[in-house]
A and B are shown apart, each in its own frame.
Chain A
Amino acid sequence: MNHSSVRPQVRPAHVWTLQSPTETRLDNGARLWLYQLPGQYVISAQVVMDAPLSCEPAAVEGCATIAVRSSDEGSMLHPGSRLAEAVEDIGAIYAGTARQSSTVARMEVPVSQLAAALRLLAETVTQPAYEKVDVDRHRDLRLAEIEQTLARSSALAQIGFQNAVFDAGCRVGRPAAGRISTVEAITRDDVIAFHDRWWRPDGATIILAGELPPDAAQLVDAAFGSWTPGNQRAAHEQTLANPAAPVVWVIDRPGSVQADLRIGGFGPDRLDPQWAALQVASCAIGGAFGSRLNRVLREELGYTYGAHAGFRPLRSHGSFVVQTSCRTEVAAPAARAAIDLLNVTDEPFTETEALDARTFLLGIAPLRFQTADAIADEASVLAGTGLPASWFNDQQAQIAAVSADQASAAFSAAVQPERLSVVLCGDADQLLTGLEAQGLAAEVVTIDG
């Protein structure tokens, strides 16, 4: 027999675990997680600060973002562009993000320049100059960014979805990097005040991943040891659902040749006892190419280039979202088909679906975590949401034990298809009638920048 007609059998994979970091603490309170990864010659160094966006003053939301974006525009020791030059001279790159529950400042650098990179990272984090001209420029660039965002259909749908699912009184219900009215109000003093109060070692985690030198911990201590605690900790806001949900909204974007769809609702966070079962379920629903949504909407109906779904956890609660985009004329039937596909009560997961989802989630992990930056990024998310470094492996062990029945039960409890909000961005004139015919009478809403 020709060997090529015989499909090779696949043995079960070995159980794989994410390497645990060496955990210590600096005298100023900052935690240090060191991931020793032989063969990884670019080190990822991240400083995760306990600075949730809910700590921004309401009138100047976006100042956490401006604080991180302006932080490498000059320091006390390296004024102006000398800081960027010093960073780039050693082949390093600096970036940062103000996320919902933490601000992260990060540097990537070849191993041989680690000591110098840590000094520069510490300088950027602890002594940014925040010259007025730089803060003002980043404020203006953020305003320009808002305009670019409002021109993109997928971004509008995402903002609309956030508004649909979360209580407008919650920070999570508003854009992370601020709105036009709040960004316009940001001054140098606001940025300095936010930095001074929240960029502190208390509650912070410093993460290094890569082929670390033996004295890595001492290098961190030398660079960050003099960083002084703020002695006040952030209060993390409880996320609340939009009391008016579910809603069906169309964000009008005349002339669009596609509609961007978001279907979903308020969801659990990683501490939910059903989290592992929900991971298996959401993989089977919309986490892989062969999952229900993509199989039907793309491969059977040709409605879309891709359809995905998943739970998006925050530190407290989160959301479940289906996302896709499709030509205007099939947007309404696509929305209806997606909602019907979420009905796991009537169509529970099969053992094969659950097995495939478990195998995917367990098997993809070692491939996903091949590199220093991927491991540092995962650690950074865990640190920023208040979880221990061991969380990931605990989670994988739980995923391995999820049955089809457990996945179905957890999903049916968390996602009730007829209780989900539907948000579309597209040409409203062409969408409304079709939506109504699918039982999705929609309200046309506007997204303000």
Chain B
Amino acid sequence: MQFMSEVTRLHYPVDDTTLDNGLRVITNPDPLAPGVAVNLWYRVGSADEAPGATGFAHLFEHLMFAGSANVASGEHLATIQAVGGSANATTSFDRTNYFETVGPQALELALWLEADRMGSLDVGEQNLRTQRDVVKEEKRQRYDNVPYGDQLELLLQLNFPGGHPYAHPAIGSMADLDAATLDDVQAFYRTWYQPGAAVLTLSGALSVDQGHELAGRYFGDLPGVGVPANKPAPALPPHAGTPEVVVSRDVPRPMVHLCWRTPPLTHPDRLAVEVLLSLISDGQSSRLHRQLIRENELAEALGADDFGLARGSSLGVISVRAREGVDLAQITDTVVETLDDIITDGPRPEELARAKAGFEREWLAALAPIDERANQLSYYATLFDDPQRINHELAEIEQLEVPDIARAAARWFNPEARATLRYEIDGGN
């Protein structure tokens, strides 16, 4: 069966240019779009934080909304919404991104706002204190006050050695945040928030010429300043001796996370790893859904994901929440057997075809809105140095064959090279 019909019609025009000051500008014209997505990636994330300064990249993301030369604190977001647009920002391990989606009439305003805070930052003690409090509330809301809320932190500690760039989550330590000073804020800003560390993507109702002209007009005068290389991370060896961490928590059900060190984003095996995880865990016909949820009724919920990390090694995790009274060992055995089967025999051809068909739909749906497409282009430009990947990554997935998946499983998901995080019920029953 042929699934590539829509995809072969899909070819996104992608223009890729760099201003004299180092700002990379990607323009993706789309005449059908209702507006323009402005998406800015700075290649700095939590992995670049110094010891004792965890959480800084994310706190800083908040402070980027707290004022610049011509924009008051909070005005950036309020202004974009007041012209009928949306804006936000996120911080991850390898990057921090800022984005606005606006009608064509407000494109220049969005660019001006981003350029103003790329050129200057005007944050005072009061703003720093307030945003530190806001970040603490974010941590309480997203992590500290929810069941299984410490799983991200525990997973990173289990899979990355102490001091490794990926050993802590982006939200960081609150003690470290308390120690942050305005001098630290300005130093971080001057180091990383430079045109040469940024990719600006414009997707939507504009022409390539307009993209060039507007990027030059609003960002061209910013000085080009050298930016340090990102903090490197070595490729880590596979886990040895199946390390295991067991925690007791006040949670409704036991849960297990089985973890493997996986190839970094730009490794040739990455797509095979993604397809492998998809075909064992996505959809009702996936192997683990059938065995754990449908047929043997061992689990309430499951998922498998790779963190998509860029430096040295990434992290793949299969997570399963047990049904009442089910021993986590039974679940672990099932996952291990499933992986052993795939390592030995590979997936069945129809399983692979199904996973590819699912990827095609997800891909088409994910790239339909301009904001997500612009983000994907910034991602390819920043981490792959290749924004044109948007037009050929799916074809690479389509070319994967059964032995490719079996090989990837053998190399990266050897059951003997797993680490395990188990949540048991506090006071166990």
Contact = CB atoms under 8 A, between A and B. Distances in A.
Nearest to A144: B300
A23 B241 CA distance: 64
Contacts of B361: 42, 91-93, 108-110
A363 B145 contact: no
Interface in A271-329: 288-290, 295, 298-305, 325-327
A112 B6 contact: yes
Contact of B116 (A4, A255, A304): A4
Given A93-B358, A362-B84, A370 B137 contact: no
A258 B109 contact: no
A325 B146 CA distance: 12
Contacts of A355: 82
Contacts of A84: 283-285
Contacts of B186: none
B147 A151 contact: yes
Contact of A367 (B73, B103, B354): B103
B357 A90 contact: yes
A123 to B, nearest CB: 15
Contacts of A295: 74, 78
Given A256-B145, A367-B34, A81 B74 contact: no
Interface stretch (B39-47, B304-312, B363-371): B363-371
A364 interface: yes
B217 interface: yes
A50 interface: no
Interface in B196-247: 217-218, 221
Give the residue among B112, B130, B284 with the most A Cβ atoms within 10 A: B284
Contact of B137 (A81, A140, A304): A304
A151 B293 CA distance: 22
Interface in B139-193: 140-142, 144-147
Which range holds the interface residue count of chain B?
35 or more
A5 interface: yes
Interface in A363-419: 363-364, 366-367, 369-373
A196 interface: no
Given A42-B364, A288-B81, A299 B103 contact: no
Contacts of B129: 302
Given A10-B109, A81-B294, A302 B73 contact: no
A88 B140 CA distance: 38
A2 interface: yes
Interface stretch (A11-19, A166-174, A432-440): A11-19
A10 B109 CA distance: 7
B83 interface: yes
A362 to B, nearest CB: 6
B106 interface: yes
B158 to A, nearest CB: 23
Interface string A89-113: 1111100000000000000111110
Given A152-B146, A362-B84, A42 B365 contact: yes
B84 A41 contact: no
Contacts of B112: 4, 7-8
State the majority secondary structure of interface residues on A.
mixed
Interface string B240-277: 00000000001111000000000000000000000000
Given A81-B290, A111-B6, A363-B85, A137 B137 contact: no
Interface in B65-108: 69-70, 73-74, 77-79, 81-86, 101-103, 105-106, 108
Contacts of B78: 288-290, 295, 356
A364 B81 CA distance: 8
Interface string A346-359: 00000000011001
B70 A5 contact: yes
Contacts of A40: 368
B368 A153 contact: no
A42 B367 CA distance: 11
Given A10-B83, A85-B354, A370-B370, A289 B6 contact: no
State the majority secondary structure of interface residues on B.
helix
B395 interface: no
Given A4-B119, A356-B82, A367-B35, A147 B360 contact: no
Contacts of A373: 365
A88 B85 contact: no
B186 to A, nearest CB: 20
B84 A258 contact: no
A359 B350 contact: no
B134 A305 contact: yes
Nearest to B84: A363
Contacts of A151: 147, 250-252
A137 B140 contact: no
A144 B255 CA distance: 13
B92 to A, nearest CB: 18
A232 interface: no
B402 to A, nearest CB: 16
A241 B9 CA distance: 54
A185 interface: no
Give the residue among B129, B145, B251, B371 with the most A Cβ atoms within 10 A: B145
A363 B109 contact: no
A295 to B, nearest CB: 7
A214 interface: no
B280 interface: no
A252 interface: no
B133 interface: yes
Nearest to B251: A151
B391 to A, nearest CB: 15
Interface string B1-37: 1110110011000000000000000000000111100
Contacts of B85: 363-364, 367
B323 interface: yes
B353 interface: yes
Nearest to B324: A144
Nearest to B365: A42
A364 B85 CA distance: 6
Contacts of A16: 34
B386 interface: no
A380 B368 CA distance: 20
Interface string A147-169: 11011110000000000000000
Contacts of B300: 141, 144-145, 148
A8 B106 CA distance: 8
Nearest to A85: B285
A257 interface: yes
B369 A370 contact: yes
Contact of A370 (B102, B294, B368): B368
Given A137-B293, A301-B130, A302-B130, 19 more contacts: A4-B116, A5-B69, A10-B106, A41-B368, A88-B284, A88-B357, A88-B358, A89-B357, A112-B2, A258-B140, A290-B78, A363-B102, A363-B106, A364-B84, A366-B103, A367-B35, A367-B103, A370-B368, A371-B365
26 contacts: A4-B115, A4-B119, A8-B108, A10-B106, A11-B105, A13-B84, A13-B106, A38-B32, A39-B368, A41-B9, A41-B364, A81-B284, A84-B283, A89-B353, A90-B357, A110-B361, A111-B5, A151-B147, A152-B146, A255-B250, A290-B82, A359-B84, A361-B84, A363-B103, A370-B369, A373-B365
Interface of A: 2-5, 7-8, 10-13, 16, 38-42, 72-73, 81, 84-85, 88-93, 108-112, 137, 140-141, 144-145, 147-148, 150-153, 255-258, 288-290, 295, 298-305, 325-327, 355-356, 359-364, 366-367, 369-373
- 3 tightest A-B contacts by CB? A363-B84, A290-B78, A302-B133
